Amino acid sequence: MDQTNGSGSNPPPYNPQDYAGMSYQVGKGNVAVVSPPGSYDNMVHPEDMAAAGGEQQHGQAPPEYCHGLEDSSFSDATIRRGFIRKVYLTLMIQLLVTVGIICAFLYWDTLRKWTWASSWFCYTTMAMVSVLIVAMSCCDNLRRQVPLNFIALSLFTFAEGLMLGSVSAFFDAEAVLWAVGATALVSFSLTLFAMQSKWDFTGANGSLWCFAWTLLSFALLCGILRSQYLYILYACLGTLLFSLYLVFDTQLILGGKHRKYQVSPEEYVFAALNLYLDIISLFLLLLQLIGLCR
């Protein structure tokens, strides 16, 4: 193209008839761009074309923004925020009910003495908790359909509170309060870490699962050897495991584009159940650790 003619900046006039039906190969020839016959209208500045005496001016149309994706992203973010609010509101109610039941076992002397004399009560509540966990994990309708999900979750929370109360009755009230405070501090710190961290823990499900089974084998070893130092080591490793699980479940709930996995917004009851179990497991392990170290 000779740019010395005229002003030196405009291309020569374009005649559509000279290029009618011609094709151009792009790259290695995999794509062919065909120029159909006909004239091209300048849709950006038609007044420039008229001023140039019919000469075609090549312009670029301004970009057009599609709001469909933005609206969809905003809608997804709104759904996720509502899901997070429901999960943590449900979790807060569960924890308040559980703390209230534990306090009843600690400060009601008649109930506490009855618990000491009735060891079957603790094992019965453990069996109820196990059955409810399996039922809510395996039955989708039980944890998704309203009001069955709230009824099942209420029964589970009440049974878990009775079990924790019966266990706490065998410890000093001061040790239990220390364990509650330590659990609250650890849970709050780990939740903040999971929200702010760029590390994705949602892809570590397999590693955590192997860690859990290894810790279960170690618990059997501790039951056989009955060593206080092994108990302390087991409590420390268990605290580490459920701390990682708390970060893992929190990131599953928060979701985000940099997370490998996330929980469906329909599973708010199951998500609250996971967080509740993580916090309760931390409480039991910290209570055992404080009780052994006193």
User: Is there a single domain that holds both residue 136 and residue 275?
Assistant: yes
Residue pair 275/87 in contact by the 8 Å Cβ criterion: yes
Which residues face 32 on adjacent strands? 25
Q: State if pTM tops 0.85.
A: no
279/274 Cα distance (integer angstroms): 9
Give the per-residue pLDDT at 171.
Answer: 92
Which mean pLDDT values do the consecutive 10-residue runs of the chain (294 residues) have?
48 53 49 46 47 45 39 60 91 95 94 92 93 88 85 94 94 92 94 86 85 90 86 92 93 76 83 94 93 77
70/131 Cα distance (integer angstroms): 44
User: Is there a single domain that holds both residue 177 and residue 261?
Assistant: yes
Q: What is the pLDDT of residues 258-274, one digit of tens each?
A: 667 778 888 889 999 99
Give the per-residue pLDDT at 17.
Answer: 55
Confirm whether 8 is domain-assigned.
no
Q: CA torsion, points 99, 101, 104, 106, in degrees to nearest 10?
A: -60
User: Is there a single domain that holds both residue 24 and residue 95?
Assistant: no
287/200 Cα distance (integer angstroms): 30
Residue pair 201/248 in contact by the 8 Å Cβ criterion: yes
Nearest 5°: phi and psi at 233? -65, -40
Residue (of 246, 122, 263) closest to 184 by Cα position: 246
Residue (of 273, 247, 282) closest to 137 by Cα position: 273
Helix (H, G, I), strand (E, B) or coil at 5: coil
User: Is there a single domain that holds both residue 88 and residue 133?
Assistant: yes
User: Is there a single domain that holds both residue 154 and residue 194?
Assistant: yes
Helix (H, G, I), strand (E, B) or coil at 42: coil
Question: How many structural domains is the chain composed of?
Answer: 2
What is the residue range of 42's domain? 16-51
14/201 Cα distance (integer angstroms): 59
